[in-house]
Structure 1
Amino acid sequence: MRVRAALVVTVLAATAALAGCSGDTSPLPVTPDRPRAVATTPAPGGDKPAPPACNPRASLRPAGSLPPPGEMPAGSYMATIQERGRLVLGTSQDTLLFSSRNPFSGEIEGFDVDMGRQIAEAIFGDPDKIQIKVIGYDKRVSSAADGSVDIVADTMTANCERWADVNFSSIYYEAGQKVLVAKASKAKSINDLGGKKVCSAAGSTSFENIGKVEAKPVAVAKPAFGDCLVAFQRNEVEGISTDDTILAGMAAQDPYAKVIGERFTQEPYAIAMDKKHPEFTRFVNAVLERNRANGTWKRTYDKWLGDFGPAPTPPKAQYR
């Protein structure tokens, strides 16, 4: 019997709801001013179209070198941000190591937040000229698409369905789905949990992926990953499955938990932006390209994720 009831309040106070992950799978609603433009191919033997054919990792190529900070090209969206005086970043406040609220300073910090700060620095010469807007993980696509934020950096997987609604940057982090279990568990991977209850957030690709596992674990949906953690600590489920980045944050807070197995999905994280400003996507990609080359990406990794081992080679940019 796992006894962790005393940890529930502590963990929830630190993590709130543990949103994020590979995200909601619901598309944006189709409206007269936003028709859904997705290139599809006919499905063999049926009327339902096949998923759109695309390379979700391929973004828009940077247009030359970066302009000096404070000298954004006239008429560009970067100039609009510069005139406003701040970059608006949409992210969560409860994904430990990527975007979580520091309980001592009250500031939201992490790997994803630093991605945003680096873009602010490229525009203004000052990484602190940033406004952080906390958004629900199910609002990430809509927040980028409707312009209520300039960028969304929030453990967000780039996929073809989302490309229909937003532009993505080149990939800045490679994640993948694993499973968290009790330290006393003999399971080595999710394939050892056949017939066992495994929790994930309702509407997430993580939840869908559990149903595709050959061993057939029983997928249990909860509104958010904080609810999954409570269910796990109450012995209502055998494990939790989502991106390894989020599970690492959970395991760091629960001494009775561990993350097991190899990644069984690929979750390439990218920054989402409004499709109406392709020049901004190209600018962001130029910032990411520079930071891969000059060691900024590695320093960011070491700062937030260095406890998990040496920094890997940053994801190589792919362009359309």
Structure 2
Amino acid sequence: MTRRHTLAAVVAVALLGVTAGCTADRDGARVEPPTAAQPSAPPQAAPEESCNARASLRPTGALPAPRKMPAGTHMAEIFKRGRLILGTSQDTLLFSSRNPFTGRIEGFDVDMGRQIAEAIFGDPDKIQIKVIGYDQRVQLAANGTVDLVADTMTVNCERLAEVDFSAVYYEAGQQVLVNKGSTAKGIEDLGGKRVCAVTGSTSLENIAKVGSRPQPVGRAGWADCLVAFQQNEVDAISTDDTILAGLAAQDPYAKVVGPKFTSEPYAMAISKQYPEFTRFVNQVLARNKADGRWKRTYDTWLGDFGTAPAPPRAAYR
């Protein structure tokens, strides 16, 4: 069963839910409100320009059974704590957004985190969801405030200087959302126009690189961009096609246009302090891609947009 049929009913309530500050899922999983930024980990040396950001740490050995985490590993510490701490957003429809009827934060990214919790505990609900800002994702992963970040996060060499990334689990690309009456056919047609993206995202950086010189406008979250668009404070929104699909589903007067003008490989960010945890996450991802769990997750959240593609192939270093 897919989710698009519920979107129209939740639009108004969902936007209220973004600012509601709820602190617990109604199914018992813990949820924390947006967090103030914490001191970041000591800066790491910049990666070489030739780095392969997609190449993650290679898994070693067999995947341990749930509740049997190797002593001395970060997985064992997570198990002792009793919950996995996942950093994500609450306003990215289909990937990580708060369901106004259940109070749960749910979506494709959240399920990626729940699958890691299940591999550690044998229970996907042994998870604490910490709502974080886009501009906090690298910082809070680097200093260990969260165990991992799954939040439509693009792998790149700049971020790789501060955090480790899992293998890529989703391939996206940046497009543009405009009013249905717009004649724009892509980002190049928006020269001089105000184009919104979330502060701290690669999407905002990519808008500034477009040759026709659209004006990047930063907002705290995608719901904020949507409100700014609906109030004519901006002319368009530009980000990954997957995020735009969720925004367009909330506004009958909006449409997504143009070809993808970037490649946005999504991966989970993890502190460099715990390379064994990154390898463990990669083992779980490899298993889930092989046994059909990845496809089932895609079908649940994104199936309305077509047949599931083949999951991204892992690259290791």
Q: TM-score range by the shorter chain?
A: 0.7 to 0.9
Is 1:280 the counterpart of 2:277? The answer is yes
Q: Secondary structure at the match of 1:37?
A: coil
TM-score by length of 1: 0.85
Deviation at 1:29, TM superposition (A): 7.6
Is 1:37 the counterpart of 2:26? The answer is no
Q: 1:91 corresponds to which residue?
A: 88
**Higher mean C-alpha displacement, 300-309 vs 209-218:** 209-218
Q: 2:312 corresponds to which residue?
A: 315
Q: Secondary structure at the match of 1:144?
A: helix
Tell me if the contact between 1:173 and 1:314 (Cα under 8 Å) persists in the aligned partners: yes
Q: 2:98 corresponds to which residue?
A: 101
Is 1:268 the counterpart of 2:271? The answer is no
CA distance in 2, matches of 1:103, 1:29: 32
Counterpart among 292, 297, 302 of residue 299 in structure 2: 302
What stretches of structure 2 of length at least 5 have no aligned partner? Answer: 1-9, 21-37
Is 1:229 the counterpart of 2:226? The answer is yes
Q: 2:23 corresponds to which residue?
A: none
CA distance in 2, matches of 1:287, 1:224: 29
**Which runs of structure 2 are paired with 1:58-69 in the superposition (5 Å)?**
58-69=55-66
Q: Secondary structure at the match of 2:65?
A: coil
CA distance in 1, matches of 2:47, 2:133: 28
Q: 1:47 corresponds to which residue?
A: none
What stretches of structure 1 of length at least 5 have no aligned partner? Answer: 1-6, 18-27, 41-51
The superposition leaves residues 247-303 of structure 1 with CA deviations (integer Å, 9 ceiling, x where unpaired) of 111101101101111110111110111111111100000000000000000000000
**Higher mean C-alpha displacement, 54-63 vs 136-145:** 136-145
Is 1:12 the counterpart of 2:15? The answer is yes
Tell me if the contact between 1:120 and 1:128 (Cα under 8 Å) persists in the aligned partners: yes
Tell me if the contact between 1:11 and 1:253 (Cα under 8 Å) persists in the aligned partners: no
Counterpart among 142, 152, 159 of residue 156 in structure 2: 159
Tell me if the contact between 2:47 and 2:157 (Cα under 8 Å) persists in the aligned partners: no
CA RMSD of aligned residues (A): 2.2
CA distance in 2, matches of 1:92, 1:258: 23
Change (3 A) 1:313 1:104: same
The superposition leaves residues 161-211 of structure 1 with CA deviations (integer Å, 9 ceiling, x where unpaired) of 111111100000111111001112222211222333222234432122112
Amino acid in the other structure paired with 2:189? D
Deviation at 1:11, TM superposition (A): 6.4
Tell me if the contact between 1:251 and 1:258 (Cα under 8 Å) persists in the aligned partners: yes
Deviation at 1:246, TM superposition (A): 1.5
Q: Secondary structure at the match of 1:240?
A: strand
CA distance in 2, matches of 1:224, 1:92: 8
Q: 2:194 corresponds to which residue?
A: 197
Change (3 A) 1:268 1:102: same
* Count of aligned pairs: 291
Counterpart among 146, 150, 167 of residue 147 in structure 2: 150
Change (3 A) 1:238 1:11: farther
CA distance in 2, matches of 1:308, 1:221: 28
Q: Secondary structure at the match of 1:220?
A: strand
